[in-house]
């Protein structure tokens, strides 16, 4: 069984979603995590997945939306994470590519999510784009100030320097369809060096469809293509990679075990 550790199921219409879930099941994708990007949207996600024992969600504010509303307190985030279907906090982090929110606001929002994840005892899904140095600095600083917290660098496509910093902090890494792109040889080299017990896979659907569907609207069923490329990179069979990433998912997201 494969698990799509990061997707956006609420971006499909209510008419589309049953077929999306059916195709995922047919492809061997047994569980999916749909991700929070604003507080208002996060509060709706448990209702969206109600009645689906194989679906989970997270709650959080994406860096693109960090300036749109007051930054949630760690306590408020931890309270939202008490819901039995909420298994993580995020996605939150830093995005200096689009810079849709001021960088200081992004940083404050990111730190609030780290502290909320620590309070709730659930992992943090991190969005990192063109902000590797500041991501690493904040992760180290928050670890030194407040103690351990679990985290996942979602859709990892950053530098080796951030990968090494995250490995030092016992972070996990989730790879998306970007890993399958022809020009992603450097990313595949990084994936080859990450400890096996830290690897997960995702789609980030409906974005970032893997080869051979690149350019099309992505969906959870296609996580199998990313998993196969990751298996090839690590010299494993697709079945072994499915078992490995599923075990890693359950170790990280303990509420979903």
Distance CA 85, CA 105 (A): 29
Distance CA 226, CA 117 (A): 28
Range of the domain at 223: 2-256
Distance CA 166, CA 161 (A): 9
93: CATH: 3.20.20.140
Residue range 7-14: average pLDDT? 97
Span 216-235, pLDDT tens digits:
999 999 999 999 999 999 99
- Structure token pair of residue 122: 């659930």
Distance CA 206, CA 230 (A): 20
Residue 136 carries which DSSP code? H
Nearest to 206 by CA among 63, 12, 4: 12
Distance CA 75, CA 88 (A): 14
Could you give the count of Cα atoms lying within 13 Å of 126 in the half-sphere of its Cβ?
33
Contact (Cβ atoms closer than 8 angstroms) between residue 198 and residue 172: yes
CA 146 to chain centre: 23
Residue range 175-183: average pLDDT? 98
Rounded to the nearest integer, the mean pLDDT of the chain is 98
- Structure token pair of residue 137: 């600095």
Q: What is the pTM of this model?
A: 0.97
Domain count, the chain: 1
Q: Any long-range contacts for 233-236 (C-beta under 8 Å, 24+ apart)?
A: 233/179, 233/188, 233/191, 233/192, 234/191, 234/192, 234/196, 234/199
pLDDT of res. 257: 80
Residue range 169-182: average pLDDT? 98
User: Is 39's pLDDT higher than 90?
Assistant: yes
């Amino acid at each position: 069984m494969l698990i799509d550790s990061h997707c956006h199921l609420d971006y499909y219409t209510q008419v589309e979603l049953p077929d999306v879930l059916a195709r995922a099941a047919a492809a061997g994708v047994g569980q999916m995590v749909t991700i929070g990007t604003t507080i208002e949207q996060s509060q709706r996600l448990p209702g969206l997945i109600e009645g689906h024992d194989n679906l989970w969600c997270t709650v959080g504010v994406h860096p693109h939306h960090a300036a749109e509303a007051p930054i949630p307190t760690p306590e408020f985030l931890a309270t939202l994470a008490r819901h039995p279907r909420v298994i993580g906090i995020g996605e939150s982090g830093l995005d200096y590519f689009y810079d849709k929110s001021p960088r200081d606001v992004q940083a404050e929002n990111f730190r609030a999510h780290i502290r909320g994840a620590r309070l709730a005892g659930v992992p943090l899904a991190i969005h990192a784009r063109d902000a590797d140095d500041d991501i690493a600095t904040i992760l180290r600083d928050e670890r030194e100030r407040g103690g351990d917290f679990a985290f996942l660098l979602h859709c990892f496509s950053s530098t080796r320097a951030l990968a090494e910093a995250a490995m030092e902090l016992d972070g996990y890494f989730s790879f998306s369809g970007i890993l399958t792109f022809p020009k992603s040889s450097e990313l595949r080299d990084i994936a080859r060096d990450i400890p096996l017990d830290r690897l997960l896979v995702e789609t980030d659907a409906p974005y970032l469809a893997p080869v051979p569907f690149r350019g099309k609207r992505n969906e959870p069923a296609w996580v199998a293509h990313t998993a196969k490329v990751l298996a090839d990179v690590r010299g494993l069979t697709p079945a072994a990679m499915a078992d490995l990433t599923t075990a890693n998912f359950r170790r990280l997201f303990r509420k979903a075990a």
